[in-house]
Chain A
Amino acid sequence: MSTLERLTARLGAALPPEAVITDPVRLRTYECDGLTYHRATPGVVVLPETAEQVAAVVRLCAEFGVPFVARGSGTGLSGGALPRTDGVLIVTSRMRRILEIDIAGRRAVVEPGVTNLAITEAVRDQGYYYAPDPSSQQICSIGGNVAENSGGAHCLKYGFTVNHVLALQVVTPDGEIVELSEQDAGYDLLGAFIGSEGTLGIATAITVRLSRAPEAVTTLLAAFTDIESGGQAVSAVIAAGVLPAAIEMMDALAIEAAEAAVHCGYPPGAGAVLVVELDGPRAEVERQFTAVERICRDTGAFEVRVAASAEERAAIWKGRKSAFAAVGRISPAYIVQDGVVPRTALPEVLAGIDRLQDEYGIRVANVFHAGDGNLHPLVLFDDSVPGEGERAEAASGRILDLCIEHGGSITGEHGVGVDKARYMPRMFTPDDLDTMQLVRCAFDPEGLSNPGKVFPTPRLCGEVPGVRKGVHPLVEAGLAEQF
């Protein structure tokens, strides 16, 4: 009997019936998340309903030295929830209760499987919403948002998940249930946990900030003949001192995909469209709108449309938010990247991506959060053509190099996961990476919590279950302490 089998035999006592999946056909449906490029059939899947059940499973993993991976809705785009064949996949999709709504205190407490949009839907009638809005907000889970520190179109003005989570209940890698709060004195452990991609434990209850819905929202769509003039408009808007709720750009190929998918009716013949959303007090929005419209026309927009109703606003956003999946209409397969560059470097990086298209003979559709320089190049390929997948992969790597060269980062909001772990050494020195590992080891000395993610190769505290690595040189030299 393998270690995993012995552990599985004891899961029944910790969980309700029907919460343990061992049938191989069923297990395989969990083999990947939103990134299908990486696949691994989990050793066993559990569907707990409470924090205590999560803790019980994690304690068993700790006892047997078996790795575990947390998964929410399985929509991540960096393979952060890629299972371990020798481990337990802890799926939070049945933990979807909203535990508390406190409008006066502007907060809500939810379980990790609650979807991002469900929070907004629960408080919309009272005039509130949950601000971070990843494109997958109707299905992505709040637990996953915490793990990835997810962003979204409106993060330009309102910040990322980390700015909207006030407290967490966390199951640590040894199975203890602890509370982390922004009110804690001392080190910002809450900040360390958010965006840790499942390597520091599993969030089992999340206290989120509720934001007051703005008095006025105006959404405009500007169409340009080419992406350069669109880029100029973005810089000019920010330079004019306007901070829009969102500025999003899509290029011709991305527009073509969105059009095919959701018939969003963007102006025909556009080489790029810019979606600009302004929100806040009505007087301010009106003033900013006049400025933005003028800037767009000055920089060469041949059409500027304003959403006259909630339906028209939704139609404009539908084109943008469906863009990733919509690419399925124009290409059999694609890789979505998540590089970040300084806004000022946008034109140069986009030109560089253009050159890479020719060099590798593949197409790249660009969809991005232009306001904060967060690019989402979609590298299109046909996986039935031998070698094309590899070419797409190589081109993706070069795009990330381009971002790093221009002082940017390999990820803005999708996380490093398994997909970009090997690019970490291009951005960080071995010392940087070792220091990050020390943080990880403080929480997870056995390396059981989502091993194989974020870091390129196991360096410390045993990525392989049950095998202890030696003391880290920094610890040995007395320069760092391992908790």
Chain B
Amino acid sequence: MDPELIKDCVHCGFCLPTCPTYVLWGEEMDSPRGRIHLMGQHVTGTPLTGEMAGHFDACLGCMACVTACPSGVRYDRLIEETRAVVEREHERTPEERAIRAMVFALFPYRRRLRMMRLPMALSRRLQPFLDRVNPSLGAMAELAPPPARPVRLPPLVRARRRRRARVGLLTGCVQGEFFPQVNAATARVLALEGCDVVIPPGQGCCGALSVHSGRPAEARRFARRTIAAFERAGVDAVVVNAAGCGSSMKEYADLLADDPAWRERAEAMRTLDLAEFLVELGPLADRHPLPISVAYHDACHLAHAQGVRSQPRALLGGIPELELREIAESAVCCGSAGTYNLFQPEPARELGDRKAERVLATGADLLVSANPGCTMQIAAAVRRAGKGEIRVAHTVEVLDASLRGLGPGTLGGAARRARGNS
């Protein structure tokens, strides 16, 4: 916790109304301003108490406060450093430790995730029981999407027209395992827009989960491996379709700041969110009409952490006959926040319910988001509200349907749901 960064806060309170936990509880210590105050107490000699750690753990890391702050406080860096201090100095209960060990041993590894697919799909029926054993296990069971048909992507997808760029595609852990069709759509759209798409087979987890959970050493290991994989691919840019991954990859240079050689390699790698990249590239392929109403959900790690708000809207708005609807309170987190809905299931559920209510109020046919975590979180909240399965899609799936001239019926997992029921 850098005291200089703490000093930047002038205590104006402009962050309060954007903070999900302040919105829920209305307490100073569960607001960004209050948490920075707690960090200040710690660096000036107050030992890290259980209460303090609890307030830091309750932070979603959504970065809405960074957007709201007029003084430019780097809360993102502050909370990252703070989480590492919590991991070092705070003794967690054995139960907490077990759950965390399980999550960190599972989610960053695609092969392990794949082995868990069947048990996770079955566990939804066991959810009430699991919830009683441990709320985190209950949340995991509730969130797991129905199994998707695996998609095998080739190491290179060639541009379908005049080549304008050669890009690398990060396939991600959760995206790749639970939403493989999103990666397939990404490769197709990029190829149709004139990009050679390199999909290095050796890529693993980008380290986002670790860096956001106070495990910097592990994060650095994942980061170095990812950088090396894309260096070998020889690409102009690395394109990422998962908000959380993109946001951490853009900060690799900060993460590896203590290692000059790796910092340079990190700086040399250009990471862009898919929507950001496509808008920068400009449209080339024909957009076919897609008569459907879409509610666009801002993923925090896209809107707040990367400042990407207009680009996905521009991509969707550029599709003929598509009607774009805004969700009220779009800047407030849905409660997914990486591993938050697993470690803090209660507030996550409250936030999920709040978000689901506002998404349903739009009356849109389809919910679109650029982060797999948000999609699972909101879909689970809609189920909880007794409204059945909401149709969800990634921005790029909608674009893919338009470029290929498919009907709106193909979107939103209708086909997948049928499979899941069979």
Contact = CB atoms under 8 A, between A and B. Distances in A.
A33 B41 CA distance: 16
Contact of B14 (A28, A139, A260): A139
Given A75-B13, A322-B70, A326-B71, A25 B28 contact: no
Interface of B: 7-14, 16-17, 25-29, 34, 37-38, 41, 46, 49, 51-52, 69-73
A262 B70 contact: yes
Residue with the greatest number of chain B CB neighbours at <10 A, chosen from A32, A115, A329: A329
B333 to A, nearest CB: 17
Main secondary structure of the interface of B (DSSP, over half): loop
Q: Give the most central of A93, A136, A140, A262: most B CB within 10 Å.
A: A93
A136 B13 CA distance: 8
Nearest to B8: A328
Nearest to A258: B70
Nearest to A262: B70
A30 B11 CA distance: 11
A138 B18 CA distance: 9
A26 B29 contact: yes
Contacts of B51: 23, 25-26
Interface in A59-89: 73-75
Given A25-B41, A25-B51, A28-B37, A325 B14 contact: yes
A198 interface: no
7 contacts: A23-B51, A25-B41, A25-B49, A136-B14, A261-B72, A322-B14, A328-B8
Given A91-B28, A115-B17, A325-B10, 5 more contacts: A34-B12, A113-B26, A136-B14, A261-B71, A328-B72
Interface residues of A, number: 38
B71 A329 contact: yes
Main secondary structure of the interface of A (DSSP, over half): loop
A262 B68 CA distance: 10
Contacts of A29: 28-29, 34, 37-38
A136 B49 contact: no
A36 B49 CA distance: 24
Q: By CB atoms of chain A within 10 A, which of B25, B37, B49 has the most?
A: B37
B13 A326 contact: no
A164 interface: no
Contact of B13 (A47, A139, A332): A139
A297 interface: no
The 7 A-B residue pairs with the shortest CB-CB distance, nearest first, are A328-B71, A325-B70, A322-B70, A93-B26, A325-B12, A75-B13, A328-B10
A25 B44 CA distance: 12
A144 to B, nearest CB: 11
A139 B16 contact: yes
A36 B10 contact: yes
B90 to A, nearest CB: 13
A74 B52 CA distance: 20
Nearest to B47: A25
A110 to B, nearest CB: 15
A73 B13 contact: yes
A88 B261 CA distance: 56
Given A25-B41, A261-B72, A332-B7, A47 B12 contact: no
A138 B37 CA distance: 21
A224 interface: no
A406 interface: no
- The residue among A21, A29, A75, A140 with the most chain B CB atoms within 10 A of its own CB is A29
Contacts of B34: 29
Between B16, B38, B52, the greatest number of chain A beta carbons within 10 A of the residue's beta carbon is seen for B16
Contact of A47 (B27, B46, B69): B27
Given A96-B26, A325-B70, A25 B52 contact: yes
B71 A47 contact: no
A193 interface: no
